[in-house]
Amino acid sequence: MITIVWLSALLGPPLVTALWALIDKDSQRTRIVAIVAAVASCMGAVLVAFVAEPSTLHVASALRMTDLSRLLVMLPPGLWLVTVTSTPNARLERGGLGRTGASTAVGIFAFLTASPVLLACCWAASSALFLRGIATADNRRTRRVVASYHVASLLLLVSGIVAMRAPGATKQVGLWLVIGAVLVRKGIYPFHAWIPEAFDHGRIGPTVLLSAPQLGTYVAAILVVPQASPATLRIVAILSLLTAVYGAALALYQSDARRTLGYLFVSQSALVLAGLDCTSGDALAGAIVLWGSSALAFTGIARTVLSLEARRGRLSLTTYHGGFDRMPLLAASFLLFGLACTGFPGTLGFIGHELLIDGAVRSFPVLGFLTIAATALTGLTVLRMYFSLFCGKPDAGPRFRLRVREAVAFGGLAAILVASGVVARPVARLSERASAQLLRGRSAAPSGTTAHTPRRSH
């Protein structure tokens, strides 16, 4: 009974919103319903994370409350709240609001399950919602490209899950197929090209809502990390580290805000996966913190760009657009989101980056420093974007102002990133518990996939 109550608190509000959007034709009213539902869902998630006993949310492997789930379950409702609050009126659309609710429900459920079959279902559902979300009349090529990557990743995942049920060598093949699915979904080099494409020619809102919670990382944590051998994880980690630098370098090169966002996400997402696959306690804990901080911070950056685009049209980074004096809160929040992505002290990102870098260098004494290179390049990209989007001579156009709900969304998100970065112990403790649980899962794995003991050089 209590399981149903908790599940209703978590999944009820987004599903009600999705249904409401089907019935009500007034998009403004639907937005109000969505905001109320998102607040309720956030409160439910916080209660589940801090109050619920693991036994109350346990139905075999279909529903399982782990320490990792406790942290992650707060992510989709939080991102949903920011999304529905900050979406500009010009971009508001009833169907879109419904899809955000459905995506949130899928995300929450995915983070609560450990069943490979249910994970594959969530994977497929989120991809379908995303592909529907980015559909516009003039981006058929983009949809085709993105769909091909998503279909490929789904096929790899399904065949991997099936193969992993078999013993011996087939199981190893299955594991590699799942890894392939994760690499494609997360945009790890050389499967990354669809992400900048989706940001560039698709729609930012759905792309962020699909990408930011990083379902691919969760699948890696549940299906790959406990089963894979240290050598396999090292390959994935090295690939991820290289992708992090690659994404950061390409982000700095771009002259368009949307493509920059795409590569920035590639880099951030790769850093999280790298930490997850280093299998040292610190790197894992860092990756988990970074997972949350980069999701929040990156959503903040992307929503800021979306708000600016709604007012000014497509944004080039080769000019200076001005506007700091009109929207100082938006500018300051943007800078803060960006700094959180670079691990600036005083933000949540700092904790994630510090732990991740420390653990990565411990696991890979040379290649671990790529995390620092990626961070340095991301810092430059962020400041370049900030200068371009908010500095320069104010244009002579209409004097846009930030709406109250947007100010609350951006200001609140920035405050959360700073508060959790300054009072860092609770987050670090929670992520440490989650990483310890993951490592225990590795230790308990069948023979042949022995747990990796962190190496120390001294």
Partner 1 sequence: MSPLVETAVLVACAAPMLLLLVLGVAALANRLQERGIGALTRAGLLVALAGALTALVTYHVAGQRPQTLRYGAWFAASEAAFSFDLAIDGLSLGFAALSILICNVVAAFSFRYLHHEQGFRRYFFQMTLFVVGITFVALAGSVEVLFVGWEFLGLSSALLVGFFQERRAPVANALRVYAVYRLSDAAMLSAAVLLHHWTGSGNLTPLFSGGLEHLGPVHALVVGLLLIVSVASKSALWPFSGWLPRAMEGPTPSSAVYYGALSIHAGCFLLLRVQPLLLASTVATVLMVIGGVITAFYGALAGRVQTDVKSAISYATLAQVGIIVVEISCGLRILPMLHITGHACFRLLQFLSAPNVLHDLHDLENRLGAAIHAPERGAARGRTSLYLFALERGFADGVLERVVGACRYLVGKLDVFDRLLVADRSRKRDRT
Which part of the chain contacts partner 1 (CB under 8 A), choosing from 57-65, 217-225, 429-437, 444-452? 429-437
Instruction: State yes or no: residue 139 binds partner 1 (CB under 8 A).
Output: no
Instruction: State yes or no: residue 322 binds partner 1 (CB under 8 A).
Output: yes
Instruction: State yes or no: residue 384 binds partner 1 (CB under 8 A).
Output: yes
Sign for the pseudo-dihedral over CA of 59, 130, 12, 108: positive
Residue type at 228? A
Residues 355-374 that bind partner 1 (CB under 8 A): 355, 357-359, 361-362, 365, 368-369, 372-373
Q: How far is the CB of 85 from partner 1 (least distance, A)?
A: 18
Q: Which DSSP letter does residue 92 get?
A: -
Name which of 112 and 278 has its Cβ closer to partner 1: 278
Residues 434-453 that bind partner 1 (CB under 8 A): 435-436
Instruction: State yes or no: residue 196 binds partner 1 (CB under 8 A).
Output: yes
Q: How far is the CB of 75 from partner 1 (least distance, A)?
A: 20
Under a CB-based contact definition with an 8 Å cutoff, are residues 351 and 427 in contact? yes
Instruction: State yes or no: residue 293 binds partner 1 (CB under 8 A).
Output: no
Instruction: State yes or no: residue 141 binds partner 1 (CB under 8 A).
Output: yes
Which part of the chain contacts partner 1 (CB under 8 A), choosing from 8-16, 99-107, 174-182, 347-355? 347-355
Which part of the chain contacts partner 1 (CB under 8 A), choosing from 31-39, 210-218, 228-236, 282-290? 282-290
Which part of the chain contacts partner 1 (CB under 8 A), choosing from 123-131, 177-185, 249-257, 445-453? 249-257
Residue choice 351, 370, 413, 417 for contact with partner 1 (CB under 8 A)? 351
Helices and strands counted in the chain (H then E): 19, 2
Could you tell me which residues are beta bridge partners of residue 58?
64
Q: Name the pairing type of β-strands 63-64 and 58-59.
A: antiparallel
Name which of 251 and 302 has its Cβ closer to partner 1: 251
Residues 14-53 that bind partner 1 (CB under 8 A): none
Under a CB-based contact definition with an 8 Å cutoff, are residues 303 and 208 in contact? yes
Under a CB-based contact definition with an 8 Å cutoff, are residues 73 and 108 in contact? yes
Residue type at 313? G
Instruction: State yes or no: residue 321 binds partner 1 (CB under 8 A).
Output: no
Nearest to 123 by CA among 97, 93, 149, 96: 149
Residues 198-217 that bind partner 1 (CB under 8 A): 200-201
Whether the upstream peptide bond of residue 190 has omega within 30° of 0, thus cis, is yes
Residue choice 424, 437, 445, 451 for contact with partner 1 (CB under 8 A)? 424
Instruction: State yes or no: residue 344 binds partner 1 (CB under 8 A).
Output: yes
Instruction: State yes or no: residue 279 binds partner 1 (CB under 8 A).
Output: no
Residues 251-270 that bind partner 1 (CB under 8 A): 252-254
Residue choice 12, 88, 230, 411 for contact with partner 1 (CB under 8 A)? 411
Instruction: State yes or no: residue 320 binds partner 1 (CB under 8 A).
Output: yes
Residue choice 39, 125, 235, 380 for contact with partner 1 (CB under 8 A)? 380
DSSP string, 362-429: HH-TTGGGHHHHHHHHHHHHHHHHHHHHH-SSPPSS------HHHHHHHHHHHHHHHHHHHS-HHHHH
Name which of 230 and 281 has its Cβ closer to partner 1: 281
Instruction: State yes or no: residue 408 binds partner 1 (CB under 8 A).
Output: no
Instruction: State yes or no: residue 153 binds partner 1 (CB under 8 A).
Output: no
Instruction: State yes or no: residue 121 binds partner 1 (CB under 8 A).
Output: no
User: How many alpha carbons fall within 13 Å on the CB side of residue 149?
Assistant: 24
Distance CA 134, CA 170 (A): 37
Q: How far is the CB of 25 from partner 1 (least distance, A)?
A: 35
Residue type at 151? V
Distance CA 339, CA 352 (A): 13
Q: Which residue, chain included where needed, has tokens 């850093």? A: 271
* Burial (CB count within 10 angstroms: exposed 0-12, middle 13-18, buried 19+), residue 314: exposed
Instruction: State yes or no: residue 246 binds partner 1 (CB under 8 A).
Output: yes
Residue choice 94, 185, 192, 452 for contact with partner 1 (CB under 8 A)? 192
Q: Which DSSP letter does residue 227 get?
A: T
Contacts of 427 (CB under 8 A, 6+ apart): 289, 292, 348, 351, 420
Name which of 36 and 418 has its Cβ closer to partner 1: 418
Instruction: State yes or no: residue 328 binds partner 1 (CB under 8 A).
Output: yes
